[in-house]
Amino acid sequence: MKKRVYLMTAISAVAIALTACGGNSGSSKSGSTGSASGSAVSSGSAATGSAVDNGAVIEFNSSDYIEKLANYKGVEYTKVDTVVTDAEVEEKVKEFLKNYPEKITDREIKKGDTVNIYYEGKKDGVAFDGGTAKGTDLNIGSGSFIPGFEEQLIGLKAGDSKDVKVPFPEDYFQKDLAGKEAVFAVTVQDIKRSELPPVDADFAELVGKFKTVEELKADVRGRLEKSAKFKSTEAFNNEVLKKAIDNASVDIPEVMVEQKVDQMVEEFELKLQAQNMHLHDYLEYTKQDEKDFRAQYLDAAKENVKMDLVLEAIANAEHIEVKELDLQAEIITMARNFGADPQEVYKIIMKERRIPMLVQSVGRKKAAGFILSNAVDTNAKEEKAEEEKAEKKPAKKTATKAAAKDEEAEAKPAKKPTKRTTKKKEDAPEA
């Protein structure tokens, strides 16, 4: 049930984070999810939508709120090429070391060790939500558990069990547990030494079947370079889209902002529920009222609404079409992101009549892709200009040489024609 609710919220707010999209939704490679729309959907349909105000559905058209679209084609940006240093590679290898500590079988737990434990917590003899876990790693001394919990494990060995008695803090976010004593039945599965192993050929083979440390570091460098490239592209997307959106003048409707805030708050609530928390408990714990809490989302909500409206208007202006394959691909992507079956997502969308919302979302993504595909990298622009300049120089030089040669030829006096002399024939001897 929780998974379905989470999916529903994701579907409702699917366009909130458009800055990370690549634009073109492409085509389905995983089979059909069913007929989502029946035919191609024009950009005009993608540029309309609805909002809910006090239970009433309000239809809107993005063009009604766009005062001006400007400079969304040919947006200039500077793409930063990131270089992975040797120091970064070394640091990443050290992080690997932390995942391969040596297991201990012959001594007791001490501060700094990492232990793997099973535990079950009870209050007044009754197990409570979130109080049970199997195979949890805990660094002794990290302070990540309830105060007093970690200290009571010091001195135990692998295989030992112990009842750990600790009181929950008075300001604990779960009111039914705040200030109450709980008993955790803890079993130590294993202990891992805090000292790190050496970086050698054996470690390289342990990490990834690498024959040498050099092979390991080369693999790490490749992964870091791939990650750096992704971050650079993401920064490019953000910069270009922000510029295109900022260039537009938009009258942002308040009802849409409130609706966006509702979506964002609902998403936050679901995250809390995954941690066995409720919004009212969180507000009490952080000493906030609901009004102040919602106010934190206003600026982000306004930005998102403006982006939605501008992208929809661009989709309309550029006659961008949302096709059935686009919708299928989006459904498959959503399902993959949330670990669900595409058919399940499709059924939810159809049952809740969210096809128009899906069309809007895909239309905005394709509009974002249009902006990105027409952006101009200033670095590439300068490089091209330099190349063109370099190509022109030799040609100019050659032309100058030819002109100089012609001038030289004109300046020189013409050579006198060679005088031909004919030798007189001697008189033939008389017979």
SS3 per residue for 260-300: HHHHHHHHHHHHHHHCCCCHHHHHHHCCCCHHHHHHCCHHH
DSSP structure class, residue 169: P
Task: Please state the length of the chain.
Answer: 431
Average pLDDT over residues 255-277: 86
Both ends of the chain: CA-CA distance in Å?
142
Report the mean per-residue pLDDT for the chain.
77
Q: What's the confidence (pLDDT) of residue 261?
A: 92
- In the predicted structure, residue 222 carries a pLDDT above the cut 70: yes
pLDDT digits (tens, 9 = 90+) for 144-176: 898 999 999 999 998 899 999 999 988 887 888
Confidence of residue 188 (pLDDT cuts 50, 70, 90): very high
With 70 as the cut, is the pLDDT of residue 8 above it? no
DSSP string, 41-68: B-HHHHTEEEEEETTEEEEEEGGGTEEE
157 near 188, Cβ under 8 Å?
yes
Tokens representing residue 204 in the block: 């390289």
Range name among 46-60, 193-207, 221-235, 399-413 with the lowest pLDDT average: 46-60
Identify the H or E element spanning 202.
helix 201-208
Give the model's confidence band at 302: pLDDT under 50 very low, under 70 low, under 90 confident, else very high.
Answer: very high
Which pair of structure tokens corresponds to residue 352?
């809740």
Q: Return the bridge partners of 394, or none.
A: none
pLDDT, greater one: 431 or 208? 208
Q: What is the pLDDT of residue 103?
A: 66
* pLDDT tens per residue across span 105-116: 678 898 888 899
Q: Which amino acid is at 139?
A: N
pTM exceeds cut of 0.75:
no
For residue 11, the tally of other CB atoms under 10 A from its CB is: 19
Beta bridge partners of 376: 76
What does the pLDDT read at residue 408? 54
Nearest to 307 by CA among 65, 36, 116: 65
* pLDDT reported for residue 101: 62
Q: Is the pLDDT of residue 295 over 90?
A: yes
Residue 25 reports pLDDT greater than 50: no
Q: What is the pLDDT of residue 296?
A: 93
What burial letters (b/e) apply to 336-359, b meaning 16+ CB within 10 Å?
Answer: eeeebebebbbebbeeeebbebbb
Contacts 24+ apart (CB under 8 A), 350-355: 350/34, 352/8, 352/11, 354/11, 354/12, 355/36, 355/37, 355/327
CATH annotation of 103-192: 3.10.50.40
* Residue spans in the chain of domains classed CATH 3.10.50.40: 103-192
Above 50 in pLDDT, residue 23? no
| Nearest residue to 360 (alpha-carbon basis) of 317, 309, 430, 325 | 309
> Which phi and psi (to 5°) does residue 147 adopt?
-50, 130
pLDDT score of 423 more than 70: no
Residue 365 φ/ψ, nearest 5 degrees: -60, -40
Which CA distances in Å does 338 have to 4, 5, 6, 11, 137? 10, 12, 9, 11, 26
Q: In the prediction, which pLDDT does 143 show? A: 87
